[in-house]
Amino acid sequence: MDQISVNGGARLAGEVRVAGAKNSALKLMAAALLAPGRTVITNVPRITDIAIMAQVLDRLGCTVDFVDEPGPDGTPSPVREVVIDVPETLGTEADYDLVRRLRASIAVLGPLLARCGYVRVAHPGGDAIGSRGLDMHVAGLARMGADITGEHGFVIASAAGGLRGATIWLDFPSVGATENLLMAAVLAKGVTEIDNAAREPEIVDICAMLTAMGARIEGAGTSTLRIEGVAELRPVVHATIGDRIVAGTWAYGAAMTRGDVTVTGIDPAYLEIALDKLRTAGCEVTTSQDHFRVRMDERPRSVDVVTLPYPGFATDLLPMAIGLAAVSEGASLVTENIFDGRFMFVNEMARLGAEIKTDGHHAVVRGRERLSGAPVRATDIRAGAGLVIAGLCAEGVTEVGHVHHIDRGYPNFVADLRALGVEVHRSAAPPDVIG
């Protein structure tokens, strides 16, 4: 395992371009299963999760190729094209050895059931940030006529007569459940209505791709999706939207380090509340159609944050919100409403000198002028990036271990840090850091 080492006292300054959204590209790859033929997805981030999803599709009988372009300085570009050739006859089992490494692979459940009438998918893995059951996926598919059982760690679903349209109410606007039910509904007989659906930009992106494939979808971006099933879909070429979480990471990094960063390749509207919090903290934030700039000259002011489903403050940005609070003037209350294990990384922040007290899904953070460099360990994708950024606000050197988590969500993370003026090194971690 590798570690990333940063020297404290750095100020992020410059321009950085974000690649396509991880949380969109993975589901777009799954959606390709709905149409035999050659689908091309562009602006896909060069991250390990994409490679794992490619293996999942390969095991199902697809041929997956990557088209790479060199970056401006000769290094690999952070984005690539994914070319997926989908056969007429697909495999129907997603193996545990891959699915356990990538929770997003559960997104093949809906497309395979719609195409094949049968699917056997292992219970997913992914980040250790709390319980994320499949109850809403299963209940929604059952309302569409699927017979679903579970055995030996697998979800087994069948719909011999085909799926049929239904009215489905989600108890919570789950992104994963919305995506699976949406992809199943596009080939179901009749009309499906999903109420209390997730509204994330990534949902809108998948709706745009499915519509281009021939699906009939109304209400993308609202809490009610209406899908009229069609007999078949066609392959397409589709560009992934920019990654709002990566963009938000750089925005909060600029605020924490009293820097000046322009982030391109992203619609700032995706980050409206997150950027508004930065304004409240004292940042100068300017936006345009496809980029924004965050400038901070003074120590940030404390600001309270509550994570909520989109368009609320994204749970994936919670580590950055806590990092900002840790170096702000005053005390901040940070409330996590999505994942019960999101605060797992707080102990690592405390090793950097952050003063944090948690109580259930609340954290009170009292800011300090400077943190203190120390060896820490990434517990998930966003916590890993947040710890590196926090290390920039610490005296001395911070070594972040288990950075394979960061590789799952941030293409060219170290190169981007260097381009923004950070002295950063990546190396093999010694045994005491690996833990």
Specify binding-site residues for phosphoenolpyruvate.
Answer: 22-23
Question: How is residue 149 written in tokens?
Answer: 């059982």
Distance CA 215, CA 187 (A): 8
Would you list which residues are annotated within the binding site? Answer: 22-23, 103, 316, 338
- Contact in structure between 323 and 256 (CB atoms under 8 Å): yes
Q: How far apart are CA 9 and CA 422, in angstroms?
A: 9
Question: How many CB atoms neighbour CB 430 within 10 A?
Answer: 11
Give the Cα separation of 56 and 382 in Å (integer).
Answer: 24
Q: Residue 424: in which H helix or E strand, if any?
A: strand 424-428
Selected catalytic residue, list 85, 97, 127, 340? 127
- Which of 153, 147, 155, 146 shows the shortest CA–CA distance to 107? 155
Q: What's the token pair of residue 266?
A: 């992203």
Task: Evaluate whether 59 touches 95 at the Cβ level (below 8 Å).
Answer: yes
Cα distances (Å, whole numbers) of residue 26 to 61, 405, 409, 419: 17, 16, 11, 27
Judged by DSSP in three states, 178 sits in helix
Residues paired with 422 in a beta bridge: none
Q: Which single residue is written with the structure tokens 């994708």?
A: 381
What is the SS3 assignment for 149?
Answer: strand
**Residues paired with 356 in a beta bridge:** 365
CB atoms within 10 A of CB 207: 23
- Report which residue type is found at 191: V
Start-to-end CA distance of the chain, whole Å, equals: 10
Say how many CA atoms lie within 13 Å of 174 toward its Cβ.
25
Residue/partner pairs of 269-273 with CB below 8 Å, 24 or more apart: 270/201, 270/241, 270/242, 270/244, 271/244, 271/247, 272/311, 273/311, 273/312, 273/313
The partner residues of 293 in beta bridges, in order of sequence, read 262, 286
127 is catalytic: yes
- DSSP, res 188: S
199 neighbors 221 (Cβ within 8 angstroms) = yes
Catalytic residues: 127
